[in-house]
Chain A
Amino acid sequence: MTTDVHQFSAHELDTLAAVLDQVIPPSADGRLPGAGFVAHGERCAGVIRLLPGLDLGLVGGLAACDEQARRRGAADYVALRDADRLAVLNDVAAVDAGFVPSLMFLAYTTYYVEERVIAALDLEPRPPHPKGFAMPDNDLSLLDPVRARGRLWRDA
């Protein structure tokens, strides 16, 4: 595993949170949160450590988001209105093909293991072990047509 990774500043993490909220925005019905909340967590830092180069790709993209925001007259990306954040992210994605896939990987791996997200998917927010899941008994009458066909194996 890579250990020599970029240490994200508080500002970079705030920007990352804002960008991740564009990648997975809150659901229209309000049940699912945006992905921004994962940015400050240790789990997010762990995923960044997993893939060599992911940190630097993210840092470069986040800096580009700030730069684009300043060109629009804002202090930085976080200061933008929501619609402008989306526009800036699209602009950055157009010139940095790796940025959005990196964000998606980060968002998808961290968001869908969060208990509040799992609960919003109508699953129990708990580890699979030791409770597991109940399943129905088998209906082996489904095999009747297979049994009726006779052997498939070949003499050898």
Chain B
Amino acid sequence: MSEEPVDVLIIGAGASGAALAWSLAETRMNILCLEQGDWVKSGDYPSNATDWELRRLGDFGFSPNDRKLAADYPVNDSESPIAASMFNAVGGSTILFAAHFPRLHPSDFRVRSLDGVATDWPLDYRYLAPWYDLNERMTGVSGLAGDPAYPSDPPKRPPLPPLPLGRLGDTLARGFNRLGWHWWPSDSAIISEDYEGRGACINAGTCIAGCAQGAKSSSDVTYWPVALRNGVRIRTRARVREITLGADGLADGVIWYDENGREQRQKAHVVVLACNGIGTPRLLLNSKSKDFPDGLANRSGLVGKNLMFHPYAMATGVFDEPLEGYKGAIGCCIMSQEFYETDPKRDFVRGYSFEILRGLGPMFTALTGMGWGAIPWGRDHHRAYADLFDRTAGMVVIGEDLPEECNSITLDPELKDANGIPAPKISYRLGENSRKLMAHGLLRAKEVLEASGARKVIEEPLLRVAGWHLMGTARMGRDPKTSVVNEWGRCHDVKNLFIIDGSIFPTAGAVNPTNTIQALALHVADAMKKNLASLFE
């Protein structure tokens, strides 16, 4: 790799890096992205084989600690009830995400003003709405306009019709209707019709093991192909160790390792971090210098602090009739925001979403049933299996997690990755508000399933595997004392260093974050373009 400086160096080719690269490409600047993973080709995906479920336990599993691929780095999550789930590749964790793609709500940007907790965002829903619109067009979101859980002005109009609800979705929808509760077809980053050269979803049901069809809008099939055509370059299998500083106090590039473990340097005029809510603070904390002894851009002391997941609880209903739950997008069916907003009558603030999950395939029915103690070995095995297979519907409660400084990412004193770079350590506990909120949600989920006709409901109060949403560890704000980046993602302490991933969320809301992450990345790119002449002032 050349020592010649590039104009913009993006670290990480996931959801946010892709969106920003696409947007900046029109400037004709020299833009390079370093990504520690590789491209995943259609033929690589498990869904091309009958035993596709089995590979979810191996190289297409959620946890880097289980996969242990060359692209992965270890994460010490022993002091957290929620484990880190992520994927390293061009497309990042969108390769394995379920593609549930809602927006935040207007109240999510004003939790301090409305509810007296956490902090307000330095921008609001109305400001971000055009970036949501653009991102949903680029992504090819399937959904239905008119959801009463969102404002009608500005309107939210998904460009494609909703995915099929199927027998399972219809069953649960009737349950919500019996209770008089809100539900709506999910906004999904999966194309329900042919779109921009990609073929429509075929309802294979394998989304969380990747989409060989290319219908799931992971950013390797949406933004990146266009960005590459417009001149952006990606260097894969490139793991960045640290960001370096010049004598002027600005970031001047990075030190990285190639796939053979050789140390390389890349100079840059602007550095953009897009490494997720764990990888970004890890890299900043690993970039120490005389000026920044506690980690780069960390004069506030907030790098790595205020980690937010969305805690997930799950209720699974067992029904008498087949639901055809193995067909269709597993996480994109219907959702409910009946309990999203604060209700003073409850003993917690903020709220949660329900996301309806389809059923399980043959192997995961057996494994999950084993975990529940519902499918024994021996003589009764086949009867118990037949009682569960294709007769379950899942509901997850996605709770809003409030920021707390004690929930954090630090550097593990011993654990290192394959290149000897200190690994991140998660210290996390579920706050009191979150515990009350999740308990409330689990009870309501059980009511829905029973109203839908479930003869039995299995409850799981907290899913350990569900650390998909990584937010808050380099939050945005106007005050350098209480935030790491400003309202357009620029670090307060280093004027040519930007952060665009979920790290910059001041609060989490109670919806899947990728749509917001990408909308913010588009907003940051736009701000960079508008301020090119005075970017470092």
Contacts and interface: CB of A to CB of B under 8 A. Distances in A.
B162 A138 contact: yes
Given A125-B50, A139-B170, A149 B212 contact: no
Contact of A153 (B113, B148, B324, B389): B148
A73 interface: no
Contacts of A131: 202
Contacts of B113: 156
Contact of A146 (B51, B58, B148): B148
A145 B177 contact: yes
Contact of A105 (B110, B182, B326, B370): B370
A134 B362 contact: no
A73 to B, nearest CB: 24
Given A142-B177, A154-B107, A123 B362 contact: yes
Given A108-B366, A152-B182, A154-B106, A133 B203 contact: yes
Interface string B162-198: 1011110010011011001011110000000000000
Interface string A128-152: 1111111111111011011101111
A28 B379 CA distance: 9
Nearest to A2: B68
Nearest to A133: B327
Interface string B355-367: 0000000110111
B166 A135 contact: yes
A106 B213 CA distance: 30
A132 B213 CA distance: 9
A47 B114 CA distance: 51
A146 B150 contact: no
Nearest to B206: A128
A25 B362 contact: no
B338 interface: yes
A154 B148 CA distance: 11
Given A109-B363, A154-B106, A22 B164 contact: no
A153 B150 contact: yes
B106 A24 contact: no
B144 A127 contact: no
Contacts of B45: 129
A48 interface: no
Interface string A50-70: 100000000000000000000
A4 interface: no
A112 interface: yes
A25 B337 contact: no
A154 B114 contact: yes
B125 interface: yes
A115 B164 CA distance: 27
B148 A151 contact: yes
Interface in B103-122: 105-107, 109-110, 113-114
Nearest to B376: A104
A45 interface: no
A126 B326 CA distance: 14
Contacts of B382: 24, 27-28, 32
Interface string A106-124: 0111111101011001010
Chain A at the B interface: mostly helix, strand, loop or mixed? loop
Interface residues of B, number: 73
A20 B381 CA distance: 12
A113 B68 CA distance: 23
A132 B173 contact: no
B49 interface: yes
B58 A1 contact: yes
A137 B164 contact: yes
Contacts of B206: 128-129
B331 interface: no
Contacts of B205: 128, 133
Chain B at the A interface: mostly helix, strand, loop or mixed? loop
Given A121-B362, A146-B184, A156 B203 contact: no
- Residue of A32, A47, A109 with most chain B CB atoms under a 10 A cut-off: A109
Nearest to B200: A132
Nearest to B363: A112
A104 B177 contact: no
A39 interface: no
Contact of B381 (A24, A46, A110): A24
A152 to B, nearest CB: 5
- Residue of B124, B327, B338 with most chain A CB atoms under a 10 A cut-off: B327
Contact of A126 (B50, B149, B341): B50
Contacts of A134: 203
Contact of A152 (B110, B337, B365): B337
- Residue of B106, B180, B382 with most chain A CB atoms under a 10 A cut-off: B382
A22 B167 CA distance: 36
B146 interface: yes
B378 interface: yes
Contacts of A86: 378
Given A50-B58, A100-B377, A112-B365, 17 more contacts: A25-B378, A46-B58, A110-B54, A121-B362, A126-B50, A127-B48, A128-B205, A133-B202, A136-B167, A142-B170, A142-B173, A149-B148, A151-B148, A153-B149, A153-B150, A153-B341, A154-B341
What 5 pairs between A and B have smallest CB-CB spacing? A132-B202, A113-B51, A128-B204, A135-B164, A156-B106
25 contacts: A25-B378, A25-B381, A28-B382, A50-B57, A100-B377, A109-B54, A113-B51, A113-B52, A123-B362, A127-B52, A128-B47, A128-B52, A128-B206, A130-B202, A136-B164, A136-B167, A138-B165, A140-B185, A143-B173, A149-B182, A152-B148, A152-B182, A152-B340, A153-B105, A153-B149
